[in-house]
Amino acid sequence: MQLSPVELRHASRLVNHGPTVLVSTEHQGRRNLMAAAWSMPVEFTPPRIAVVVDKKTYTHELLRASGRFAIGLPVPALAELTHAVGSESGRDVDKFARHAIAWTPGPVLGLPLVAGCSAWLELRHIAEPHTEQAYDTVFGEVVSAQADARVFAAGRWSFRDDNTELHTLHHLGGGVFAVPSRIVRAV
């Protein structure tokens, strides 16, 4: 997997189509990874993203304490891992160790980026205590973006028959994911 830099003005396109994401956090040597089906861009420039992170979770605690988080785009081969880390808490166990997850440090914030994803974003947390409390909705501003150039180039996903192993996952519930492999053009 070779991740190439993505211009920040294109970063929101990475989650424009509603993929399930992996959220990684790190604070003073403690780290965690969770899956989130619920995220969306809210702005292109500056690139800002909203993601639903339950305020009771360990991820939320690390995210608030460190002021940063990362988002990864899992591919079909990571479906089991995505489901697993979305179904357990990292408060008492290091999920990276438990699942033997390979990772590399993010280029700007040093956050743990799971190997094998098709794209990665690092974000600075924009604290909005009311929205986080009332709706579990967390905002972040993207400060680095990378994607596999075989499936995302010039600011756009290119889902084709020859790169299906790099397509995104979209959680339907209960560990069943849809993969958006068919293309419909309106223009």
Q: Where do contacts with a second copy occur on this chain (CB under 8 A)?
A: 13, 16-20, 37-43, 48, 50, 52, 76, 79-80, 82-84, 128, 130-131, 134-137, 139, 155-157, 159, 164, 167, 169-187
Helix (H, G, I), strand (E, B) or coil at 34: strand
C-alpha neighbours within 13 Å on the C-beta side of residue 44 = 6
Q: Which is nearer to a second copy, 75 or 111 (CB)?
A: 75
Instruction: Using the minimum distance from each CB to a second copy, give the nearer residue, 106 or 177.
Output: 177
Name residue 35's amino acid: A
- Closest distance between a second copy and the C-beta of residue 25, in Å? 19
Could you tell me the smallest distance in angstroms from the CB atom of residue 110 to a second copy? 26
Q: How many residues belong to the chain?
A: 187
Least gap, CB of 104 to a second copy (angstroms): 24
Residue 102 corresponds to which tokens in the numbers above? 């390979």
- Any residues with CB less than 8 A from the CB of 187 and at least 6 apart, and which? none
